[in-house]
Amino acid sequence: MKLLLIGSGGREHALAWKLAQSPNVETLHCAPGNAGIAEVADIVDIAADDIIGLLALIQREAYDFVVVGPEQPLAMGLVDALNDLGVRVFGPTEAAAQLESSKAFTKAFCDRYDIPTAGYGVFTDIAAAKAHLKTMTAPYVLKADGLAAGKGVVIPETLKDAEAELEEFFSGKFGDASQTVVIEEFMRGQEASFFAISDGTTALPLIAAQDHKRAYDGDKGPNTGGMGAYSPAPIFTDAVLATVMEKIIQPTVYGMAKDGHPFKGVLFAGLMMTDEGPKLIEYNARFGDPECQVIMRRLQSDLLPLLLAAEAGTLDKVDAPAWFSEPVANVVLAAEGYPGAYKKGTVISGVEAVNERDGIVVFHAGTRRGKNCGKLKANGGRVLSVTASGETLRDAVDAAYEAVDAIKWSAKQYRTDIAYQALKQNT
Within 155-248, residue ranges assigned H as helices are: 159-170, 238-244
CA distances from 83 to 50, 86, 118, 237 (A): 17, 5, 35, 38
**CA–CA gap between residue 50 and residue 355 (Å, rounded):** 32
Q: Which is nearer to ligand GLY, 165 or 289 (CB)?
A: 289
184 touching ligand AMP, by CB under 6 A: yes
CA-based nearest residue to 99, from 88, 87, 83, 112? 112
CB of 85: closest distance to ligand GLY in angstroms? 28
262 touching ligand AMP, by CB under 6 A: no
Q: What is the amino acid identity at position 132?
A: H
Stretch that binds ligand GLY, among 30-38, 171-179, 237-245, 282-290 (CB under 6 A): 282-290
234 touching ligand GLY, by CB under 6 A: no
According to CB under 6 A, which one of 32, 156, 200, 226 is a site residue for ligand GLY?
Answer: 226
Burial class (CB in 10 A: 0-12, 13-18, 19+), 173: middle
149 touching ligand AMP, by CB under 6 A: no
106 touching ligand GLY, by CB under 6 A: no
DSSP string, 86-117: T--EES--TTTTHHHH-HHHHHHHHHHTT--B
According to CB under 6 A, which one of 288, 327, 339, 390 is a site residue for ligand GLY?
Answer: 288
Per-residue x/- track, 201-220, ligand GLY (CB under 6 A): ----------x---------
Rounded to a whole number of angstroms, the distance between the first and last alpha carbons of the chain is 47
289 touching ligand GLY, by CB under 6 A: yes
Q: At what angle do helices 291-298 and 10-19 cross, to 10 degrees?
A: 20
Per-residue x/- track, 133-162, ligand GLY (CB under 6 A): -----------------x------------
CA distances from 230 to 12, 53, 95, 340, 426 (A): 17, 36, 31, 25, 14
Stretch that binds ligand AMP, among 185-193, 258-266, 352-360, 396-404 (CB under 6 A): 185-193
Long-range residue pairs from 40-47, CB within 8 A, at least 24 positions apart, any chain: 40/13, 40/16, 41/5, 41/16, 44/4
Per partner kind, with CB cut-offs from 5 to 8 A, the member of ligand AMP, ligand GLY, none near residue 105 is none
Stretch that binds ligand AMP, among 24-32, 184-192, 200-208, 376-384 (CB under 6 A): 184-192
**Interaction with ligand AMP in 196-215: which residues (CB under 6 A)?**
213
Helix, strand or coil, per DSSP, at residue 76: coil
CB of 324: closest distance to ligand GLY in angstroms? 21
Query: What is the size of the binding site for ligand AMP (CB under 6 A)?
Result: 14
According to CB under 6 A, which one of 291, 308, 315, 393 is a site residue for ligand GLY?
Answer: 291
According to CB under 6 A, which one of 284, 293, 387, 389 is a site residue for ligand GLY?
Answer: 284
Cβ contacts of 367 within 8 Å, gap of 6 or more? 34, 35, 36, 348, 376, 377, 378, 379, 380, 383, 384
Measured from each CB, the residue nearest to ligand GLY is: 226
71 touching ligand AMP, by CB under 6 A: no
The sheet carrying 120-123 orders its strands as 120-123, 181-184, 141-144, 153-154
Handedness of CA 311, 282, 254, 290 (dihedral sign): positive
- Give contact residues for ligand GLY (rule: CB under 6 A): 150, 211, 225-226, 284, 288-289, 291
Contacting residues toward ligand AMP, per CB under 6 A: 118, 141, 150, 153, 184-187, 191, 213, 223, 270, 281-282
